[in-house]
């Protein structure tokens, strides 16, 4: 019996027969009389005893097969005239209707884009006008202060010159009583030079990520990218075949994402500074001027350090501070105390002000750009996230988990979208002291605490699969691009994911312990870790190259 390979070779040798022609293409004088069902072609009697002799069991005379063919053709015609052709006409009319509406559809989209552009321009103009007005007021205030200071200095200079002359005269010709009076006058006189009044640091920092922020403000345009590429590739003609996406190769620790269009990552982070700092810390808040506030939940002390690790200010409270957050608008430091169940603020005069109390134990907090306070609680029977006013009025709340010992370990707000991201930590079983008994993951909420993303380490490119039990986020912060930096204490790494929960890159792998992180203006990352020397300390890293 012929094999499939033999049949393939035979079919390659068969001659083509024109449609309706009754002569055998291999034996042109003979009429075709049989259908070889193995090869599915018409053959003559000579073919039946030569090329197709091994298929004789499959032969059927054409006259016998004609009725079956007529039935097939009749069914095809009936199906065409009653179903297929009418459907094609309906589809054609639908396409023509869409074509006729195309101009108005795209005009509407363009009009929306132009309107949004004009509104963005108006808002930018108003923001600029507000900034300029504020700048004018600051200039007037500082001018008035300095002018008043100069006038005061002139008066003091005149007084000192006059008094100095009188004292000289007294020393030469004055009586004992006059000398005594002059000495008393000099002793009681304020001769200290007053400091130049400082209205405060004012500066304007241009955006380093103008393009992505403007795109975010303008809105998104969604296009069927694959279809568009297929049409473009064929010179404007629709490609009826499937569009095949080329798989993008990935390297260990890095993968390609849509976000790469808007920023460039360094091959490895640049170390701007590193220094030892022996105290344990549980939270870090870098300030715009390059310093950072630190706290440790086992102490009641808040420290402000410079970028060399030197303590420049220390604030003492009467209860342990669980977490800290800087108000992005006022620059004031907020902190929460789990034992007192309070949320507090430090005023400009370094006075501690209790803002409000919470029903549950507060474990973490974040002050948003809108002036709201997001509080994450802990509990033995579930825990919550609350969005409150500065006075403690609860605006939104969500129960993260209703059972077991668990808490919100970290909270951060996206400067681009306003979304809220948290680290959720829960005791699975066993002893509290064993870190392997906990499971942590990242949750992203919108501004009203509707859940958007749950991230458990998916996509991290590592030598072994990163399962939820091996993913240990301890702290997370948004950067200016809207990406999330995660400190993973289990794997001793710093991970970067998008705001949509897509893995981007492992920024740093530490030999020793990885601690909490914080973001300074300009996307300078403060990372608390164990240095190569074995000491606790900090590294200040830059991971964007643009």
Q: Looking at residue 529, which CATH number applies to its domain?
A: 2.120.10.30
Q: What is the pLDDT of residue 518?
A: 96
Query: Is 486's pLDDT higher than 50?
Result: yes
Specify the pLDDT at position 202. 66
Residue 56 domain-assigned?
no
Question: Does residue 337 lie in a domain region?
Answer: yes
| CA dist 242 → 23, 95, 284, 301, 531 (Å) | 40, 21, 52, 64, 53
| Average pLDDT of span 412-440 | 82
pTM above 0.75, yes or no: no
In a domain, 527, yes or no: yes
Name which residue leads in pLDDT, 235 or 351.
351
Q: How far apart are CA 69 and CA 61, in angstroms?
A: 12
The total number of structural domains in the chain stands at 1
Residue 40 lies in a domain: no
Q: Is residue 38 part of a domain?
A: no
Lowest mean pLDDT among 157-161, 186-190, 258-262: 258-262
pLDDT of residue 184: 86
Q: Report d(CA 367, CA 254) in Å as an integer.
A: 32
Report in angstroms the alpha-carbon separations of 298 from 171, 241, 279, 391.
65, 65, 11, 26
The C-alpha atoms of residue 17 and residue 136 are separated, in whole angstroms, by 92
Q: Answer yes or no: is pLDDT of 424 > 70.
A: yes
| Percent of all residues in the chain with a pLDDT value above 70, rounded to a whole number | 86
* Domain membership flag for residue 498: yes
Q: What are phi and psi of 274, to 5 degrees?
A: -150, 145
Give pLDDT, residue 452.
92
Mean pLDDT of 11-37: 83
pLDDT at 350 over 80: no
In this prediction, residues 68-90 reach a mean pLDDT of 91
pLDDT given at position 224: 58
pLDDT class of 11 with cuts at 50, 70, 90: very low
Q: Dihedral of the CA atoms 45, 50, 56, 59 (nearest 10)?
A: -40
Average pLDDT, the chain: 84
**What is the arithmetic mean of pLDDT over 398-422?**
88
- Chain-centroid distance of CA 484 in Å reads 5
> DSSP states of 250-293 as a string?
-BTTB---GGGGT--EEEEEEEEEEEE--S--SEEEE-TTS-EE
The verdict on residue 430 lying in a domain is: yes
pLDDT at 15: 63
**Greater model confidence, 185 or 537:** 537
Evaluate whether residue 262 is within a structural domain: yes
Instruction: Note the pLDDT of residue 241.
Output: 35
Band of residue 188 on the pLDDT scale cut at 50, 70, 90: confident
d(CA 396, CA 412): 16
476, HSE (Cβ side, Cα atoms, 13 Å): 33
Q: How far apart are CA 389 and CA 396, in angstroms?
A: 10
Mean pLDDT of 525-546: 91
Q: How would you label 301-335 residue by residue, b for 16+ Cβ within 10 Å and e otherwise?
A: ebbbbebebeeeeebebeebbbbbbbbeeeeebbb
Domain holding 434, by residue range, is 258-544
Q: Is the pLDDT of residue 139 over 90?
A: no
- Would you say residue 242 has pLDDT above 60? no
How many of the other CB atoms lie within 10 Å of CB of 437?
A: 14
């Amino acid at each position: 019996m012929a094999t499939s390979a033999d049949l393939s070779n035979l079919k390659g040798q068969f001659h083509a027969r024109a449609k309706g022609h009754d002569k055998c293409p291999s034996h042109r004088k003979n009429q075709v009389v049989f259908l070889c069902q193995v090869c599915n072609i018409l053959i003559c009697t000579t073919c039946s005893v030569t090329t197709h002799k091994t298929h004789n069991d499959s032969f059927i005379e054409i006259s016998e097969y004609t009725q079956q063919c007529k039935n097939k053709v009749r069914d095809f015609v009936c199906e065409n005239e009653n179903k297929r052709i009418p459907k094609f006409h309906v589809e054609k009319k639908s396409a023509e209707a869409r074509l006729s509406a195309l101009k108005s559809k795209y005009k509407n989209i363009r009009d929306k884009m132009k309107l949004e552009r004009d509104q963005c321009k108006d808002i930018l103009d108003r923001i600029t006008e507000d900034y300029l007005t504020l700048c004018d007021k600051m200039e007037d205030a500082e001018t008035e202060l300095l002018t008043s200071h100069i006038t005061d200095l002139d008066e003091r200079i005149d007084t000192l010159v006059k008094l100095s002359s009188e004292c000289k005269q007294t020393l030469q010709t004055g009586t004992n009583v006059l000398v005594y009076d002059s000495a008393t006058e000099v002793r009681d006189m304020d001769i200290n030079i007053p400091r130049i009044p400082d209205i405060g640091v004012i500066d304007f920092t241009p955006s380093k990520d103008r393009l992505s922020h403007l795109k975010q403000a303008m809105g998104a345009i969604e296009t069927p990218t694959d279809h568009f590429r297929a049409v473009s590739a064929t010179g404007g003609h629709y490609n009826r075949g499937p569009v095949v996406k080329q798989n993008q190769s990935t390297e260990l620790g890095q993968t390609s994402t849509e976000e790469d269009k808007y920023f460039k990552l360094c091959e490895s982070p640049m170390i701007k500074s590193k220094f030892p700092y022996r105290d344990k810390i549980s939270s870090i808040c870098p300030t715009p001027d390059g310093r950072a506030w630190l706290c440790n939940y086992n102490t009641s002390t808040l420290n402000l350090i410079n970028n060399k690790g030197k303590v420049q200010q220390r604030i003492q409270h009467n209860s342990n501070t669980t977490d800290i957050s800087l108000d992005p608008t006022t620059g004031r430091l907020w902190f929460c105390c789990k034992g007192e169940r309070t949320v507090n603020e430090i005023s400009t005069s370094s006075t501690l002000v209790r803002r409000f109390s919470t029903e549950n134990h507060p474990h973490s907090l974040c002050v948003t750009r809108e002036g709201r306070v997001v509080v994450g609680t802990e509990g033995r029977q579930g825990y919550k996230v609350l969005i409150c006013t500065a006075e403690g009025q609860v605006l939104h709340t969500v129960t993260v988990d209703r059972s077991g010992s668990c808490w919100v370990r970290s909270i951060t707000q996206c400067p681009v979208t306003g979304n809220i991201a948290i680290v959720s930590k829960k005791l699975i079983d066993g002893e509290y002291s064993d870190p392997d008994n906990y499971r942590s993951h990242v949750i992203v909420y919108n501004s009203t605490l509707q859940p958007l993303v749950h991230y458990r380490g998916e996509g991290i490119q590592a030598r072994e699969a990163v399962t939820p039990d091996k993913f240990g986020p301890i702290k997370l912060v948004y950067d200016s691009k809207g990406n999330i930096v995660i400190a993973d204490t289990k794997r001793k790494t710093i991970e970067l994911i998008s705001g949509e929960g897509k893995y981007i890159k492992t920024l740093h792998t530490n030999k020793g312990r990885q601690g909490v992180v914080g973001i300074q203006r300009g996307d300078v990352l403060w990372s608390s870790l164990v240095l190569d020397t074995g000491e606790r300390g900090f590294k200040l890293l830059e991971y964007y190259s643009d």
